[in-house]
Amino acid sequence: MRLTKTALSLAIVAGIMCALPAAAQTGTEPREPAWIDLPVAVLQGLDKITARISTFEIPVDQTGRFGTFIITPRACRQKPPTETPESAAFLEIDEQKPDEEQARLFTGWMFASSPALNAVEHPVYDVWLLECRSASTNGQSSAPQ
């Protein structure tokens, strides 16, 4: 069987095209930058009744309080310095009212650049993430009791 120059050229081009997807999967494509895990979440809370804003730090896997909220950061991550600044924290927020059982209000990721993306819906308090830090500036949570 004899191949013409055109048929041979098409066969070569088809072979190259089939090999391209395999070459692209060898890890030469750019990767999404990794997040850096940090041990302290810096949060800000608003008491809507008094219009008082409080900034407080809570170490990951420890509990802090803001008003009737019990806040536990489970992870706090930040983009590397070479990327666009972003911090994200996975938070569990419960409410403990006097003489009532503790109730879970929020579980999920909060992003410092988009506080309204995953907001805590509450008539008295707002809480949002400011940043993640490598160490606490005061050694312990400064959340008001």
- Asked if 112 contacts 130 with a C-beta cutoff of 8 angstroms, the reply is yes
Over residues 64-83, the mean pLDDT reads 95
Over residues 50-63, the mean pLDDT reads 96
Q: How much is the pTM?
A: 0.71
pLDDT digits (tens, 9 = 90+) for 100-128: 999 999 999 999 998 888 888 899 999 99
pLDDT digits (tens, 9 = 90+) for 76-97: 999 998 888 999 999 999 999 9
